Structure 1
Amino acid sequence: MKDLLHPISLVVAVLGFLCLLRDLPTRRRDPATTALAAVFLLSGLSFLFSITPMWNYLDRVLGTVNVSVPLAQGCVIMLIACQQVVLTYWGSPPDIARRRARAWLGAGLAVIAGLLVLFALLTPSAPRPIDFTLYYAHDNVYAAYLTLYVTAYTIGEVLLARGCWRLARRSKRTAVRVGLRIVALGAVVTFGYSGVRTGNVIAPAFGISLAGWENFAWTCGDVGAMLTLIGWLVPTITDQAQSIRYRIKQHRSHRGLLPLWLAFYSEAPEIALPIDRIDAAQRRRFRGIGIKLYRRAVEIRDGRFVIREYLDTGVRESSEAHHRTNGLHGNELNAAVTADQILAGIAARAASKRPCSDRLTDFADADRQTSSPMDDIDALLAVARHLPREPARTPHPERASA
């Protein structure tokens, strides 16, 4: 059972670590994110060390029989401490969180030191990757070792379940609440592993063997661990999904604004912001979709400013009447009228036909209220949708507005 479940758990841990690794550079000053990444890394290592082929390989390379036991369980103790660090930083002020985090990490290291000392006192004779606990159940030193490990493990899981449930009730974010409750559920499932291992310590005194409970213990341990890892990932995956959706929207908006940008560029190519004179490092920054979209919006606004003095009130009035008969109203009506004004203004500028001052007007959507950059983009996209589908062509338009 162990060699069946551990590889699955290892895959979950590795995928979770890689998912968190994406955010580490931007959150390197966030101790909670670093601790959470450590949880996934340590969890993956604990599963890796316990798989039979790796167990035997470490025995040969390190020259110590069953050395995977303290390695794997040391990783488990530290990931339990790191989980408490995450909860501490999520639920406490930074100054208090720093003190508590140091205490948790110190306690984890103390437990690991005790495990190493007790393991050194064992006299293992042969590799036991499958039934190590059952084989050494009658050894008093191993009983002390297992008691220390199970006590620390159980206390950590109890506090994890309690802390996650309490923090979930206080969180305002749905993803965080759901994730923490899944973590709490995973911690509760691991109590089955703790119960069997506690029985392994007590059973020899009564002449009882718990060999039949080994599969149950590993199932509870691995399933609980996987639920815990998945729960920790829920907020991160939710944030990354929102980020991906936002970037997709930016790409679509950038393409959607192309007809509008081309309409202005065909008459006023000077709107294109030059980037030829900036250094290579800055030029790379300009390749990001966020900067490209922002530049395109700025250039379109510049184009609107260029033709603003060519807007004729007669064009606006006739356009409004036409689109009202087609059932448009509100912002959609203003966007359609603005598109007509842009085309007429571009044509008037090309013919140098500026209307009289008493016939000048503003864009129909000039009074549209926007509260964020993407609201402004949406307003421009509404205008772009009412332009002809075959915009004016220019050589290399993206080079000028990349």
Structure 2
Amino acid sequence: MKDLLHPISLVVAMLGFLCLLRDVPTRRRDPASAALAAVFLLSGLSFLFSITPMWNYLDRVLGTVNISAPLAQGCVVALLACQQVVLTYWGSPPKVASLLSRRWLWAGFAVIAGLLVLFALLTPNAPHPIDFTLYYAHDDWYAAYLTLYVTAYTIGEVFLARACWRLARRSTRGSVRVGLRIVALGATVTLGYSAVRIGNVIAGAFDTSLAEWESFAWTCGDVGAMLTLIGWLVPTISDQAQSVRYRIKQYRSYYGLRPLWLAFYSEAPEIELPIDRVDPAQRRRFRRISIRLYRRAVEIRDGRFVIRQYLDAAVREASEARHRARGLHGKNLSAAVTADQILAGIAARAAGARPEPDQLTEFADFERQTTGPMDDIDALLDVARHLPRQPARAPHLERVSA
């Protein structure tokens, strides 16, 4: 059972670690993010060390029989401490979290040190990757070893389940609430593993065995661990999904603004912001979609400023009457009228026909309120949708729109 479930759990842990690793460089000053990444890495290592081929390989390479047992269980103790670090930073002020986190880490270190000492006192024998616990169940030193490990494991999982349920009730983010409840469920399931291991200690004292419960123990341990890892990933996956959606929206907005940008550029190419003087080391930043979109929006705003002095009130009045007759109103009406004003203003500037001062007007969407950068982009997109998709002078301008 162990060699069936552990590889699956290993894959889940490593995929989660790679998913979190993407955000670690941008959150270098966030101890919770680093601790959460460590949880996935340590979890993967604990499963890896326990798989039979790796168990036998480490025995040969390190020259110590069954060394994988304290290595794997040491990783489990360490990840339990790291999980408490995550919850501490999520639920406490920074100074308090820092103090409590150090206590959890020192407690984990003490347990690991105790496990290594007790393991060194065991009588060396043949490798037992499958039945390690059953084989040593009657050894007094192993009873102490297993008691220490199971006590730390059980305390860690109970604290984890309680803290997750408490934080889930306090959290305002849906993905965090769901994730923490899944973590709590996983921690509860792993207590089945603890119960069997406690039973191993008691059975050893009475010269009996719980061999028939081994499959149940490993199932609870692995299924609980997978649920815990999945729960920790839920907020991260939700954040990254939102980031992907936002990036897609930026790309769609960038290309959606292209007709509007080309319309201005065809008459006023001076709106293009020069980047030839930018430091070559910084040019890579200008290829990011966020910078490109911002640059395009600025150039469009510059284009609007260029033709503002060619806006004729008669054009606006005629356009408003025509679009109202089509049933447009509100933002759709102001966007459609603004598009007509832009085309008329560009044509007037090309012909040098500036309206009389008393005939000048503002863009129809001049009073539209925007509260953020993407709101401003959305306002420009509304105007762009009312322009022809392929302006007449577009073909020779393709090289500058990328």
The answer to whether the superposition gives a TM-score over 0.5 is yes
Match of 1:189 in 2: 189
Instruction: Please give the residue correspondences for 1:155-166 in structure 2 after superposition, counting only pairs within 5 Å.
Output: 155-166=155-166
- Any conservation in 2 of the 1:272–1:401 contact (CA below 8 Å)? no
Q: Is 1:175 the equivalent of 2:178?
A: no
Does the C-alpha gap of structure 1 residues 109 and 396 become closer, same or farther in structure 2, counting only changes over 3 Å?
Answer: farther
Match of 2:44 in 1: 44
For the aligned residue pairs, the C-alpha RMSD in angstroms reads: 1.0
Q: State the identity %.
A: 82
CA distance in 1, matches of 2:72, 2:43: 9
Structure 1 residue 282: deviation in Å?
A: 1.6
Q: Is 1:246 the equivalent of 2:265?
A: no
- Any conservation in 1 of the 2:258–2:401 contact (CA below 8 Å)? no
Instruction: Please give the residue correspondences for 1:3-152 in structure 2 after superposition, counting only pairs within 5 Å.
Output: 3-152=3-152
Q: Which amino acid aligns with 1:13?
A: A
1:366 is paired with a residue of what secondary structure?
coil
Structure 1 residue 126: deviation in Å?
A: 0.4
Q: Which amino acid aligns with 1:318?
A: A
Q: Which runs of 5+ in 2 are unaligned?
A: none
Does the C-alpha gap of structure 1 residues 270 and 10 become closer, same or farther in structure 2, counting only changes over 3 Å?
Answer: same
Structure 1 residue 208: deviation in Å?
A: 2.1
1:341 is paired with a residue of what secondary structure?
helix
Match of 1:299 in 2: 299
Q: Is 1:329 the equivalent of 2:324?
A: no
- Any conservation in 2 of the 1:259–1:389 contact (CA below 8 Å)? yes
CA distance in 2, matches of 1:204, 1:46: 25
CA distance in 1, matches of 2:113, 2:397: 65
| TM-superposition CA deviations, 1:309-343 (whole Å, max 9, x none) | 00111111111111111110000000000000000
CA distance in 2, matches of 1:218, 1:33: 29
Match of 2:340 in 1: 340
Q: Which amino acid aligns with 2:189?
A: V
Structure 1 residue 397: deviation in Å?
A: 4.3
Match of 1:212 in 2: 212
Q: Is 1:202 the equivalent of 2:198?
A: no
- Any conservation in 1 of the 2:138–2:207 contact (CA below 8 Å)? no
- Any conservation in 2 of the 1:295–1:401 contact (CA below 8 Å)? no
CA distance in 2, matches of 1:398, 1:75: 56
CA distance in 1, matches of 2:186, 2:71: 23
Identify which range, 214-223 or 387-396, moves more after superposition. Answer: 387-396
CA distance in 1, matches of 2:260, 2:137: 77
Q: Which amino acid aligns with 2:335?
A: A
Structure 1 residue 347: deviation in Å?
A: 0.4
Match of 1:317 in 2: 317
- Any conservation in 2 of the 1:168–1:181 contact (CA below 8 Å)? yes
CA distance in 1, matches of 2:195, 2:220: 10
Instruction: Please give the residue correspondences for 1:252-291 in structure 2 after superposition, counting only pairs within 5 Å.
Output: 252-291=252-291
1:275 is paired with a residue of what secondary structure?
coil
- Any conservation in 2 of the 1:6–1:47 contact (CA below 8 Å)? yes
- Any conservation in 2 of the 1:308–1:362 contact (CA below 8 Å)? yes
Structure 1 residue 399: deviation in Å?
A: 5.3
CA distance in 2, matches of 1:399, 1:180: 50
Match of 1:389 in 2: 389
Q: Which amino acid aligns with 1:367?
A: E
Q: Which runs of 5+ in 1 are unaligned?
A: none
Does the C-alpha gap of structure 1 residues 398 and 85 become closer, same or farther in structure 2, counting only changes over 3 Å?
Answer: farther
CA distance in 2, matches of 1:218, 1:391: 67
2:215 is paired with a residue of what secondary structure?
helix
Structure 1 residue 125: deviation in Å?
A: 1.0
Does the C-alpha gap of structure 1 residues 222 and 396 become closer, same or farther in structure 2, counting only changes over 3 Å?
Answer: farther
CA distance in 1, matches of 2:18, 2:146: 32
- Any conservation in 2 of the 1:199–1:210 contact (CA below 8 Å)? yes
CA distance in 2, matches of 1:395, 1:275: 22
1:190 is paired with a residue of what secondary structure?
helix
Instruction: Please give the residue correspondences for 1:361-372 in structure 2 after superposition, counting only pairs within 5 Å.
Output: 361-372=361-372
Identify which range, 264-273 or 384-393, moves more after superposition. Answer: 384-393
Match of 1:351 in 2: 351
CA distance in 2, matches of 1:204, 1:390: 82
Identify which range, 388-397 or 83-92, moves more after superposition. Answer: 388-397
CA distance in 2, matches of 1:205, 1:27: 49
Structure 1 residue 207: deviation in Å?
A: 2.9
Q: Is 1:235 the equivalent of 2:235?
A: yes
Q: Which amino acid aligns with 1:330?
A: G
Q: Which amino acid aligns with 1:210?
A: L
User: Paired residues, what number?
Assistant: 402
| TM-superposition CA deviations, 1:289-319 (whole Å, max 9, x none) | 0010000000000000000000111111111
- Any conservation in 1 of the 2:178–2:231 contact (CA below 8 Å)? yes
CA distance in 2, matches of 1:99, 1:398: 59
Q: Which amino acid aligns with 2:182?
A: I
